[in-house]
């Protein structure tokens, strides 16, 4: 059979052109969504009397047989049929005869492919929110197990102030919570139906776009036919959110890599998430976080790539827009793999509490609390800051830490010091002194965990509702 669009042409398409312009090698991933949209479209054509009901039933039966072949992996895709839409339509016509050609009444591949991608991405967004929830739950589980674990907090990768390890983990729970919120918010812009926009201007047939939307559980219909077929902002938004998620995962990856090094020895990743060396038998490499850190760049690249494709395109559809899919599919696979691995990796991570405590005891991260003590005694903060700076310098010169100094040594820097300074300097005191909303004190972190668990329950209800809607 010749090209389905070949009536106007007098020559066959050059083989190199076919290979270069075909998208079937990657857009076959939209096969089920393409069938889903076609079933809704042909049902509407029958309802509107555009196609006889008998033909509608024949087409629907044929489409379901094609779907079965797709799910069994038996559909043979052809580059000469260019894309997933033409491959499915060709297979349908081969099965049921010329009546299959009526399926394309009142639509174009332009609005068809946009619909497929909305259907595809709508499912993926719900799945990613669920995966983020699983990662948050794993982090919360580790936080609950480490409410008594104190670790150095860092700025500039220099020890700054002691914090609860649970507080550090809960920072990522908050980040991934915002990531989930962004995806949930983007759903309403993905949940829009382009079908019925035609090639760019709509169609002369009396279609019912809102009926198709109800068949496919879309909340809204695109208001403007040009907009419906020519913009991909919903994909850009997803790629942007995915980039932010990968950035957060990459930051956590970097910390896991540092923490599991011999120099830190704060955590040990489970063997199931590490690899060895082909030459150095002692090695245990944190390959999963390293690879997540590396793959972050390809997700950024997919976002920048699509922004570049779209930046100068006139309305409406242009062939350039075929480049919208591979980056989207790649990002979905990359993000899916990272999130699926991260939750169990965090859940099985062993925390070296003793090593963390040792690190806290051998630094000057409690210095700020001495300054605060002196301020409480009436000394202006700037003067207190200078006093503690000199005290720390003295400790460094004497190879001591702040808790090693005698009271007489303290008093050589200020007569305002008294015995209470030793209680102030204890790591537990330093941590629990920051008993403000969002702080690292144990009561505050305990409440933060409770709030996060409650939010996870509310968000899980969203996942359940929209997973059903997006089937």
Which active-site residues does the annotation give? 156, 277
Alpha-carbon Rg for the chain in angstroms: 30
E-only strand ranges, 182-260: 192-193, 220-221
Angle among Cα 110, 310, 228 to the nearest 5 degrees reads: 35
Q: What share of the chain is helix, strand, coil (3-state, %, to 5)?
A: 70, 5, 25
Angle between helices 165-190 and 109-145 (to 10 degrees): 160
b/e code 197-220 from CB counts within 10 Å (16+ = b): bbebebbeeebebeebbebbbbee
Angle among Cα 163, 250, 327 to the nearest 5 degrees reads: 155
Strands 267-268 and 350-351: antiparallel
What are the residues facing 151 on neighbouring strands? 163
Q: Is the dihedral of CA 13, 15, 16, 20 positive or negative?
A: positive
Residue pair 184/128 in contact (Cβ under 8 Å)? The answer is: no
Residue pair 110/130 in contact (Cβ under 8 Å)? The answer is: no
Backbone torsions φ then ψ of 216, nearest 5 degrees:
-100, 5
b/e code 116-152 from CB counts within 10 Å (16+ = b): bbbbbbbbbbbbbbbbbbbbbbbbbebbeebeebbbb
Residue pair 75/69 in contact (Cβ under 8 Å)? The answer is: yes
């Amino acid at each position: 059979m010749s090209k389905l669009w070949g009536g106007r042409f007098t020559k066959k398409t050059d083989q190199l052109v076919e290979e270069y312009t075909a998208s079937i090698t990657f857009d076959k991933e939209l096969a089920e969504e393409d069938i889903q949209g076609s079933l809704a479209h042909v049902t509407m054509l029958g309802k509107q009397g555009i196609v006889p009901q008998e033909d509608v039933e024949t087409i629907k039966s044929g489409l379901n047989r094609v779907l079965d072949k797709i799910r069994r992996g038996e559909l043979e895709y052809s580059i000469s049929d260019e894309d997933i839409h033409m491959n499915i339509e060709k297979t349908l016509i081969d099965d049921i005869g010329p009546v299959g050609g009526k399926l394309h009444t009142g639509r174009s591949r332009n609005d068809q492919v946009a619909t497929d991608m909305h259907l595809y991405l709508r499912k993926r967004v719900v799945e990613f929110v669920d995966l983020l929830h699983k990662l948050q739950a794993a982090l919360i589980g580790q936080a609950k197990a480490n409410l008594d674990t104190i670790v150095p907090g860092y700025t500039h990768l220099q020890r700054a102030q002691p914090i609860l390890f649970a507080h550090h983990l809960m920072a990522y729970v908050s980040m991934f919570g915002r990531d989930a919120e962004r995806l949930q918010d983007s759903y309403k812009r993905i949940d829009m139906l382009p079908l019925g926009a035609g090639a760019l201007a709509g169609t002369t047939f009396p279609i019912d776009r809102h009926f198709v939307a109800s068949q496919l559980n879309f909340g809204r219909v695109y208001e403007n036919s040009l907009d419906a077929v020519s913009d991909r902002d919903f994909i850009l938004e997803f790629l942007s959110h995915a980039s932010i998620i990968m950035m957060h995962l990459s930051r956590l990856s970097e910390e896991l890599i540092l923490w599991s090094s011999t120099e830190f020895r704060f955590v040990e990743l489970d063997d199931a998430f590490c690899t060895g060396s082909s030459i150095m038998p002692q090695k245990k490499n944190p390959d999963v976080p390293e690879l997540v850190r590396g793959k972050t760049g390809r997700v950024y690249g997919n976002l920048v790539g699509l922004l570049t494709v779209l930046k100068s395109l006139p309305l409406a559809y242009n062939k350039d827009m075929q480049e919208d899919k591979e980056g989207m599919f790649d990002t979905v696979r990359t993000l899916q793999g990272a999130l699926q691995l991260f939750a169990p990796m965090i859940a099985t991570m062993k925390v070296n509490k003793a090593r963390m405590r040792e690190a806290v005891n051998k630094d000057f991260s409690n210095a700020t609390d001495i300054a605060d003590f002196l301020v409480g005694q009436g000394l202006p903060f700037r003067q207190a800051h200078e006093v503690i700076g000199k005290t720390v310098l003295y400790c460094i010169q004497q190879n001591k830490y702040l808790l090693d100094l005698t009271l007489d040594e303290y008093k050589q820097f200020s007569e305002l010091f008294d015995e209470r300074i030793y209680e102030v300097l204890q790591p537990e005191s330093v941590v629990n002194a920051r008993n403000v909303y969002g702080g690292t004190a144990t009561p505050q972190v305990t409440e933060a965990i409770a709030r996060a668990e409650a939010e996870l329950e509310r968000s899980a209800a969203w996942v359940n509702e929209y997973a059903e809607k997006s089937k």
